[in-house]
Amino acid sequence: MPLDPKIADRLKRDPGGLVPAVVQQHDTGEVLMLAWMDDEALHRTLTTGRATYWSRSRRSYWVKGETSGHVQWVRHVALDCDGDTILLKVDQVGAACHTGDRTCFDADVLPVSP
């Protein structure tokens, strides 16, 4: 079953048919990661409650935590005002980053001049 056309019609995809998905911890607002979704990944996410993404490097779908056990239970999904970004609020179990860090933004903090 495809993605609901009412949702699909609102998405603005890149030339590869993908939309970035910002992933946030649902109760703290902590930004965990950025991933990519196409219509099928979004459909799977909405219908299973498990975060499913499209891997640009492997060119395949992956369910977060399927092999690592670091599952993302989806609590809320929204589109931004332009329909070109998806926000997933999840209950993250374990590390969100493939490096083992809690978030993908922990390891490389850049200096900011005041």
Model pLDDT, residue 1 = 77
114 residues of the chain, pLDDT tens digit each: 799 999 999 999 999 999 999 999 999 999 999 999 999 999 999 999 999 999 999 999 999 999 999 999 999 999 999 999 999 999 999 999 999 999 999 888 899 998
**Binding-site residue ranges for Zn(2+):** 81, 97, 104
Tell which CATH architecture fits domain 5-92: Roll (3.10)
β-sheet bridge partners, residue 60: 55
The whole-angstrom separation of Cα 60 and Cα 44 is: 13
Q: Is the pTM of this model over 0.85?
A: yes
Model pLDDT, residue 78 = 98
Model pLDDT, residue 106 = 86
Model pLDDT, residue 109 = 87
Q: In the chain, what are the domain boundaries?
A: 5-92
**Binding-site residue ranges:** 80-82, 84, 97, 104
**Binding-site residue ranges for Mg(2+):** 80, 82, 84
Q: What is the DSSP letter of 84?
A: S
Q: How many CB atoms lie within 10 A of CB 11?
A: 19
